[in-house]
Structure 1
């Protein structure tokens, strides 16, 4: 909604900028301004100033600046409307109401919110009552701590048909409100209404502001459905909500990632193990709205799924749902657990570190899509190879962002060429032969070598070595983060062969997507938070020749940018040369007009790129060096 200017001015007049920022960092008043350590980057000498009179803040170290609203948006990871709502709460102002019907709707929503909060408190009290013994015993078996019970506000619904209904009506809630909120069910045949949740462990579901809007219930006895959620209501639309999203939002903002588990208990287990930035969809496949919510929290949410058929199907549904929404720097990663193991099992049996390793080795979306089309698929004839190529490019057609689609086409083209080349060098078994592999052997700790006996199946690309170019592309951006601000799409679209460099690149993209005005110290701080400092040191030790000086932090930005663009052009040229080689081989295999056109296009593209390397005139002068690369 549009906020009246006078309402925004009233907020600014009531909320002290210095007091608001003072909640995050200690400020010292100096004349008309306040100063202190910047809350946006790690520093030892104060470079952050607040001008209460003019209503803005500015950091001379990292460049962060803005007003009240911008500060809330940056520090709490929320959008403009939510920032206004939070500031209005601090100011003691009611949010503006635009139309009479909006006013009536807000009144009804407020009544429903009150009813849901009363229900949450009642369910919580019942967990501690004698009737909650079975629920408490279940939580003890699952080793859920009392702290987690309080944090997640777990409760219990007794087996009585009307216990909740009677308790809330006694507190002034009308039966109509209980029905509208999905707390009780009114039969169509005119019989009396009754409680929806009976003999179940209760999980309150909150909106982005932490207000209870629905409930989930796990059956403690025999029931047709193991889990039961509230129905769609004026407050609750399950495709627009994630379990624990209010609590996880700030923690995801701090951690730089968000974990998506399968259910309530998975989220609780992950949170107790130290992964409090965990959420879950509500009994359905991930929706487009939920993906957008996740991307507001982190650039590459990690889908943490069970390593069984159901988990694999959930991974594929999420992957396919994301394709039209992909954009540079925003994707998904997939951490599939060992077969038959859920997060709770893994954490209890092997500890949080085992879970951390699974999360850190999560597969990118591109790998999941490749496996989707190639697992157990014979490609021992030209027609089958063509069918595979068509199915992969059909996935690309679903991507609406042209840049992302182009890089995926190049990625699949490279994988196909590598796979088919390896296949041609291996003697073929008779048609129809070969042993199918285990799809899940390639996830987590279930790796097997069963595919080695099946040359008619595509093999995943093995370990590759990387040249100096890939290391320089990453290291230069680490030491000169200003580059990524102006060349984000080019950097995000890089396809690096070395897995450790690719993981580092994805982390840098995550950081750049969240943080603004990054400098060398800020980038180093955020990489250290992700425990990547040692990995950076390994790259620094590898890049030691005299020609690599432009990647050093001491180099002038102009020289670093020129050197980086030159290496980037070489990297792209190498890819185009591979495309040309592939086109030549395709024409050699099948001398068709289509393959001849491919060859001509590949040659022309390579020729066009030949003159696009960075202009190196004056290279090194800004750093006091001669022109040298």
Structure 2
């Protein structure tokens, strides 16, 4: 049975070799590798080495050599397919069924990779030619050295619709289109996809060219253009420079994610090699997984402008469902208006290292993004901050990490907004001085009243006070009120008692309604509600105009109902995204979060406009 090379490559990438070998061989760390006594021959001095970066083992004693699949077939006697199935189950992958189509796809992938490699060599030749003068001048202005041009295999695509097509005409136009090197117009004509661009070869983890990024040199849009997604290239599953940065990251314990190709190259000139970049898109879940395979806490270092910081925050939000014990991110913030290449040119490697050293843990970054620069002068605005922090914690799938994030956010929120004033130090008694008794604490009645009201919604309390003050409001809004799911059972009990009383006697005035509630056994609850309300709206005042009271009461009911709906939908969307990690589910969750933030803002505006200050 023949399996697609792309599937086998993915399987080898997902299953680290050392843990598999370690089930049979006692391995010890030896620099970037592991070593132990060879399982294929008898030896007392270890000469058997396992390299996780390159995915192979080698014995210098007997010459045994292979990858994770071969280890199972040679050492454990498994057939090839059985070994693949076991490893696929371990990696959570489905083994593709053998078919003529699968064999054809495997052959196509090999052919396309070969074409991409040939194209990379041709682009490099063009950069060195007379036609590449403009590209060489651009690299010179950017300060890219000849060594970097060679190391990163930079090239140039002439401003021609047929130059590459002619150079690789033996491959056939259909194959070149499939490899993402040619485009096809609506009338079926083919043309060079990359024209007048500086070319950056994009390699897979094993160092094979699978696509290109092209940077426009003239007035061409878009500024950056990637190979088209296809059988060979998938921009969401690759990281630029991972084949070179991965081994260095394993050794240094650090991997830095920057925004663009030139950032990687510019910083590499300062001898900082463990940099990768997404391919012009927001970080995907697959790219995050690739980064986590190298180190436990990759550093995001995006540009200091608004777009760069939005990209960093979006990557953080995508990472939340994937967090696990020891797997997180750190976020480094560049000076405003600078990218990594600019920073290195201005201050050299020390300037960039200083930015990385100041990188924030993910939890700290999220906390600051939600609290710094925010107007939290009112309880409603502080509640909105707390709610956004809760959404971040709830997005984490791992229960232990989720609980710790929630606890951390809650503790910091309480410390920031509910900190008690420090008690002044006790002064020693001085003989002859006048004795001053210490201030007494809150009375038991006051403490019990505060504690008893902690779970109640302040907005719902205000609505209930509105009904007690203006019973006629139930005529228009009673049905909407009855449909509100109230989490506090006392609020629900009082709401139901009020609506029941007014259903029987719609003409009840305030005093008569309160007397009716006493007969129903909830008079004390009504009294506590009236006394505990801290929100002063038009509908909570007896002397407010009837028109304003009815309008404002309806606005409050509608806003609470909308927020309740959004909370339920957001909970469902977050759970769906945790399990699927699909872009569409992520976008739905983010849209609902934005809608919820807008509703919270509307609630704050309503509360502030109606509060009796």
1:214-613 equivalences under 5 Å are: 214-421=211-418, 591-592=452-453, 594=455
Question: Secondary structure of 1:594's match?
Answer: coil
Q: Answer whether contact 1:51 1:57 (CA < 8 A) is retained.
A: no
* Equivalent position of 1:153 in the other structure: 153
Q: Answer whether contact 1:202 1:215 (CA < 8 A) is retained.
A: yes
* Equivalent position of 2:41 in the other structure: 53
Report deviation, 1:86: 9.6
Q: Answer whether contact 1:49 1:57 (CA < 8 A) is retained.
A: yes
Instruction: Measure the CA separation in 2 of the matches of 1:153 and 1:342.
Output: 23
Report deviation, 1:154: 0.2
Q: Answer whether contact 2:321 2:397 (CA < 8 A) is retained.
A: yes
Question: Secondary structure of 1:334's match?
Answer: strand
Deviations 1:42-71 (A, max 9, x none): 99xx99654651599869xxxxxxx77xx2
Deviations 1:535-562 (A, max 9, x none): xxxxxxxxxxxxxxxxxxxxxxxxxxxx
Whose radius of gyration is greater, 1 or 2?
A: 2
Give unpaired runs (5+ residues) of structure 1. 9-20, 22-36, 60-66, 89-93, 426-584, 599-629
Distance change in 2, residues 1:57/1:181 (3 Å): farther
Question: Secondary structure of 1:292's match?
Answer: helix
* Equivalent position of 1:110 in the other structure: 110
Report deviation, 1:589: 5.5
Deviations 1:505-529 (A, max 9, x none): xxxxxxxxxxxxxxxxxxxxxxxxx
* Equivalent position of 2:443 in the other structure: none
Instruction: Measure the CA separation in 2 of the matches of 1:587 and 1:215.
Output: 68
Instruction: Measure the CA separation in 1 of the matches of 2:180 and 2:241.
Output: 20
* Equivalent position of 1:189 in the other structure: 187
Distance change in 2, residues 1:307/1:590 (3 Å): farther
Deviations 1:372-409 (A, max 9, x none): 22233222222222222222111111111111011111
* Equivalent position of 2:171 in the other structure: 173
1:92-111 equivalences under 5 Å are: 98-111=98-111
Q: Answer whether contact 2:298 2:328 (CA < 8 A) is retained.
A: yes
Q: Which has the higher contact order (CA 8 A, sep 6+)?
A: 1
Report deviation, 1:329: 0.5
Question: Secondary structure of 1:262's match?
Answer: coil
TM-score (norm 1): 0.56
Q: Answer whether contact 1:252 1:298 (CA < 8 A) is retained.
A: yes
Instruction: Measure the CA separation in 1 of the matches of 2:214 and 2:447.
Output: 58
Instruction: Measure the CA separation in 2 of the matches of 1:413 and 1:116.
Output: 52
Report deviation, 1:291: 0.5
* Equivalent position of 2:510 in the other structure: none
Deviations 1:408-435 (A, max 9, x none): 111111211221145979xxxxxxxxxx
* Equivalent position of 2:593 in the other structure: none
Q: Answer whether contact 1:261 1:304 (CA < 8 A) is retained.
A: yes
* Equivalent position of 1:134 in the other structure: 134
Is it true that 1:72 corresponds to 2:51 in the alignment?
Answer: yes
Instruction: Measure the CA separation in 1 of the matches of 2:307 and 2:412.
Output: 27
Instruction: Measure the CA separation in 1 of the matches of 2:335 and 2:420.
Output: 29
Instruction: Measure the CA separation in 2 of the matches of 1:273 and 1:228.
Output: 27
Distance change in 2, residues 1:39/1:388 (3 Å): closer
Deviations 1:450-492 (A, max 9, x none): xxxxxxxxxxxxxxxxxxxxxxxxxxxxxxxxxxxxxxxxxxx
Instruction: Measure the CA separation in 2 of the matches of 1:196 and 1:590.
Output: 68
Q: CA RMSD in A?
A: 3.9
Deviations 1:338-396 (A, max 9, x none): 00111111111111011011111101111121122223322222222222222211111
Report deviation, 1:229: 0.8
Distance change in 2, residues 1:412/1:116 (3 Å): same
Question: Secondary structure of 2:186's match?
Answer: coil
Report deviation, 1:590: 5.8
Q: Answer whether contact 2:37 2:43 (CA < 8 A) is retained.
A: no
Q: Answer whether contact 2:55 2:68 (CA < 8 A) is retained.
A: no
* Equivalent position of 1:463 in the other structure: none
Instruction: Measure the CA separation in 1 of the matches of 2:355 and 2:118.
Output: 40
Distance change in 2, residues 1:205/1:47 (3 Å): closer
Report deviation, 1:104: 1.1
